[in-house]
A and B are shown apart, each in its own frame.
Chain A
Amino acid sequence: MRLCIVGFGFLGRELLKTIWEKMFLLREIDGGFMVVGVANSKGYVYNGDGLDVEKMLSVNALSDCLGFEANPAVDLINKDLCDVIVEATPTNIRDGEPGLTHIRLALSRGIHVVTPNKGPLTLAFRELSSLAEKNNCELLYEGTVAGAIPVFSLVRECLRGDRVIRISGILNGTTNYILSRMFFEEIGFEIALKEAQERGIAEKDPSYDVDGIDAACKLVILANALMKRDVGFGDVERVGIRGITQEAVSLAKKANYAIKLIGTIDRRLEVAPKLVPVNHPLCVHGTLNAIHLETDLAREITLVGYGAGKETVSAILNDLITVLRRRARKIH
């Protein structure tokens, strides 16, 4: 299979590095596997016989690579130059672009898609899933929710006979870091936020995280994918963490609770601060994420792991391997 990586930011680069390190693993499954294209917002490099990945990792900018073409990434997808893409452009939850166009185009041309990009899946889950089905191709998005935690794979592969009744989770590492600092250091929200920003955990404009927007997007994807709902971002009731006082965190702590930003799917779809008993499996600290599944047969399962950063490569690579396993034989 021929892979194009669309989006060459932090994750795209980490993925390429990992593919290079684990090429033997990918080739064991599909002897013809190769990376043929890498694109960013300015252009792309392409080689139908496979790119020299090692060389590409040594340059600072994609545009410094030999054969760089200042043409849009859609050209790579349009010309049927690949069999699978990893769509890793930055998340945009307003209109999903440019990811939405990339994914739509790929699926409509029968190209498999693996993506950690939340925007398109939040905005057009049903459309993209049916497009994939109609064109008989894979659309895998493990990396969109809780980074390295394999929640979609777990439910689909290991809980096939279960009905998921409720999902609740800590789906945003930045807010969990802030709340954890408030809990352990007894500092106020503003100070904890500033510290998170200094450490590069929170953005300069933190609203995407602290107002629960990021967590709400993930909730939408979980609800659509694992609970057969047909919901959008507007269906999520959302309360962020800006209003949480140091005093409230201390009152909770004295009574053996931690305040956590919890996303819940049951009667309602909600992202809001909740009191979590300190001995509950969801009560994880720092930048960790946790997802608590309640199902009719297994009853309760909790997954804990890293929700962002280069750990997400684990999810992308597993999705890529799934595509290779399911499809490699059919094509070659």
Chain B
Amino acid sequence: MKFDLTLALADRPGQLLRSLEPIAKNGGNIISIIHERDKPVEGYVPVSLVVDFPSHQSFRRTIEDLRKLGVAVIKSEEVVEKARLSFILIGDVDVKGIIESGIKGMHIVGMEVSTSKLGEVSVRLEVEVSEGASEVFEELRRMAREQNILFIPPVHV
């Protein structure tokens, strides 16, 4: 699991290496590192890291070890990988209802509506799904069935 970390290091030689030791010791794999050496703020240099830890526990231990070393941890949060997916609804679509449905883990990022000459509404919605795409799509499927509209999900969710 990936975590986003920002550390504030004292602007002295050897600080970066010292701060990386607890990460390595706890099994963290550094994916990216940005060391803004030229932007010290009140004598501190911000370092942004994305680290892949084997578990939440190893992440927590790293944070503890860093604090014991006196390294200030400004930010530490899990990176939630989001999938962007499209689906289509056809029929008497209640777009407002879907937007307000508050399906957990789904965030609407785009929408396109097209109406036929007969007044039938086709809607393509683009959503970001943070966790459990299949559960989100089960919920959408249930909603579509209740409203008697045709639901076209992406293949393989």
Is A262 an interface residue, CB under 8 A from the partner?
yes
Complex-state Cα separation, A325 to B114, whole angstroms: 58
A-contact bits for B99-139, CB 8 A (1 contact / 0 none) = 00000000000001011100010111010000000000000
**A244 proximity list for chain B (CB < 8 A):** 90, 150, 152
Is A108 an interface residue, CB under 8 A from the partner?
no
Number of interface residues of A (CB under 8 A): 26
Q: Let me know if A274 and B152 touch, CB within 8 A.
A: yes
Q: Let me know if A257 and B86 touch, CB within 8 A.
A: yes
Task: Give the shortest distance, in Å, between B154 (CB) and chain A (any CB).
Answer: 5
- Closest B residue by C-beta to A252: B88
**B87 proximity list for chain A (CB < 8 A):** 275
Is A147 an interface residue, CB under 8 A from the partner?
no
Task: Give the shortest distance, in Å, between B84 (CB) and chain A (any CB).
Answer: 11
- Closest B residue by C-beta to A245: B122
Which one, A247, A273, A280, A282, contacts B116 given CB within 8 A?
Answer: A247
Task: Give the shortest distance, in Å, between A245 (CB) and chain B (any CB).
Answer: 5
Task: Give the shortest distance, in Å, between B152 (CB) and chain A (any CB).
Answer: 5
Which one, B88, B112, B122, B150, contacts A275 given CB within 8 A?
Answer: B88
- Closest B residue by C-beta to A273: B152
Known: A248-B152, A254-B112, A275-B153. 15 other contacts (CB 8 A): A168-B155, A239-B150, A243-B91, A244-B90, A244-B152, A245-B90, A245-B116, A248-B124, A251-B123, A252-B86, A259-B88, A274-B153, A275-B86, A277-B155, A280-B155
Which positions in B face A, CB cutoff 8 Å?
A: 86-88, 90-91, 112, 114-116, 120, 122-124, 126, 150, 152-156
Q: Let me know if B155 and A243 touch, CB within 8 A.
A: no
Which one, A255, A277, A280, contacts B124 given CB within 8 A?
Answer: A255
Is A153 an interface residue, CB under 8 A from the partner?
no
Q: Let me know if B114 and A247 touch, CB within 8 A.
A: yes
**A262 proximity list for chain B (CB < 8 A):** 155
**B153 proximity list for chain A (CB < 8 A):** 274-275
**B112 proximity list for chain A (CB < 8 A):** 251, 254-255
B-contact bits for A153-183, CB 8 A (1 contact / 0 none) = 0000000000000001000000000000000
Given A243-B90, A259-B88, A275-B153, the answer on whether A251 and B124 have CB atoms closer than 8 Å is yes
Main secondary structure of the interface of B (DSSP, over half): strand
Complex-state Cα separation, A246 to B112, whole angstroms: 14
> Which of B88, B112, B115 has most chain A Cβ within 10 Å?
B88
Which one, A248, A254, A260, contacts B155 given CB within 8 A?
Answer: A260
Q: Let me know if B91 and A251 touch, CB within 8 A.
A: no
Q: Let me know if B88 and A251 touch, CB within 8 A.
A: yes
Given A247-B114, A247-B115, A254-B112, the answer on whether A259 and B152 have CB atoms closer than 8 Å is yes
**B114 proximity list for chain A (CB < 8 A):** 247-248, 250-251
Complex-state Cα separation, A274 to B90, whole angstroms: 13
Task: Give the shortest distance, in Å, between B137 (CB) and chain A (any CB).
Answer: 11
Complex-state Cα separation, A168 to B154, whole angstroms: 12
Task: Give the shortest distance, in Å, between A165 (CB) and chain B (any CB).
Answer: 12
**A247 proximity list for chain B (CB < 8 A):** 114-116, 120, 122
> Which of B86, B120, B150, B153 has most chain A Cβ within 10 Å?
B150
Task: Give the shortest distance, in Å, between B72 (CB) and chain A (any CB).
Answer: 45
Complex-state Cα separation, A264 to B153, whole angstroms: 13
Complex-state Cα separation, A276 to B156, whole angstroms: 9
Q: Let me know if B122 and A248 touch, CB within 8 A.
A: yes
**B155 proximity list for chain A (CB < 8 A):** 168, 260, 262, 264, 274-277, 280, 282
**A257 proximity list for chain B (CB < 8 A):** 86, 154
- Closest A residue by C-beta to B124: A251
Q: Let me know if A275 and B152 touch, CB within 8 A.
A: yes
Complex-state Cα separation, A248 to B114, whole angstroms: 8
Complex-state Cα separation, A254 to B122, whole angstroms: 13
- Closest A residue by C-beta to B123: A251
